[in-house]
Amino acid sequence: MYTVGLSSCGKIISDELFAAYRAAGIGAMEVIVSTDVNKEPDWNALAAMAAKHGVTLWSCHLPFSERVRIDDAAFAEETAARYAQLIRRASAVGIKTFVVHPSSEPIAEEDRTAHLCCAKKHLAALAELAAECGAQLAVEDLPRTCLGRDSADMEQLLAAHPALRVCFDTNHLLAEDPIAFIRAMGSRIVTTHISDYDFYDERHWLPGEGKLDWTAILQALQSVGYSGPWLYEVGFVRPASLEEPARNLICEDFAHNAREIFALQKPTPCAVAKKDLHRWR
């Protein structure tokens, strides 16, 4: 079955974290890079810790914010230049997959074409660079008004360069059934962000705490030949959208959750969602 992976999002990357990954049987890490240019990881130190504990540095999530983005001409050139530096440095220590947000938000409907054109220009250049570095650039599906909000949007983005691939974020699809999305993207899905939600807005809950059908998602990924990790994008600290008391998670919770899903069982929730939740934006 799939290697279980876990994003570093919301976690302090340290020798202790790598040891906890390994002890729980989590074999892959996605390194999320801060928007603060002064907080770029020490890639050599990360590679040394990963090797020590037998954890694969699977992917790097490129930074993103309302000002760190490739879809807006006011910020795109500077952002793309930073992304290029990160791809060169991280690929040098063995990271082969780079996850990129194709946009920020909000984007007005009448402005989508301009944002799409800007994003495609930079995605093409970055995909070319990643390929030169022996890596791949994976475009993440995004919610609400962002680019990449459904498979039709993703097709337009992927058309920018034949080397572009997909990061399937399970809790971002607010306008399309996830099984339909998987089938549309097919073998171009090379990595995942696993988390659950309520079909109303993204939540980043542990699978079993939302409404997704995990057996159907697992089987759909298998049917398109997906071979990357089952990589959770869920923090240890529980979000405010869950009822109190919601204990913080540990690495073993993710490993147990994956075992249940891989056994085609309904995953056991660790918390209950609050009622009458609002959208993020």
What is the residue-level pLDDT of the chain in tens, covering all 281 positions?
A: 899 999 999 999 999 999 999 999 999 999 999 999 889 999 999 999 999 999 999 999 999 999 999 999 999 999 999 999 999 999 999 999 999 999 999 999 999 999 999 999 999 999 999 999 999 999 999 999 999 999 999 999 999 999 999 999 999 999 999 999 999 999 999 999 999 999 999 999 999 999 999 999 999 999 999 999 999 999 999 999 999 878 999 999 999 999 999 999 999 999 999 988 988 65
Q: What is the pLDDT of residue 281?
A: 52
8 Å CB contact between 95 and 58: yes
Residue 200: CB partners within 8 Å, gap ≥ 6?
Answer: 174, 277, 279
Label the pairing between strands 56-61 and 97-100.
parallel
8 Å CB contact between 121 and 161: no
Closest CA relative to residue 173, chosen from 152, 157, 190, 159:
152
DSSP class of residue 214 equals H
Q: What's the half-sphere exposure (Cβ side, CA atoms, 13 Å) at 245?
A: 2
- On whether the pTM is more than 0.95, the answer is yes
Q: What is the pLDDT of residue 246?
A: 82
8 Å CB contact between 261 and 213: no
Between vectors from CA 278 to CA 272 and to CA 279, what angle results, nearest 5°?
Answer: 115
Label the pairing between strands 28-32 and 4-7.
parallel
Q: Which CATH number fits domain 4-262: 3.20.20.150, 3.30.43.10, 3.40.470.10, 2.60.120.330?
A: 3.20.20.150
Q: What is the pLDDT of residue 245?
A: 78
Q: Give the Å distances, CA to CA, from 150 to 53, 90, 102, 140, 180.
A: 38, 29, 12, 11, 10
Q: What is the pLDDT of residue 184?
A: 98
**Which residues of the chain form beta strands (DSSP E)?**
4-7, 28-32, 56-61, 97-100, 136-140, 165-169, 189-193, 230-232
DSSP class of residue 186 equals G
Label the pairing between strands 56-61 and 28-32.
parallel
- The residue ranges of every structural domain in the chain are 4-262
CB atoms within 10 A of CB 27: 20
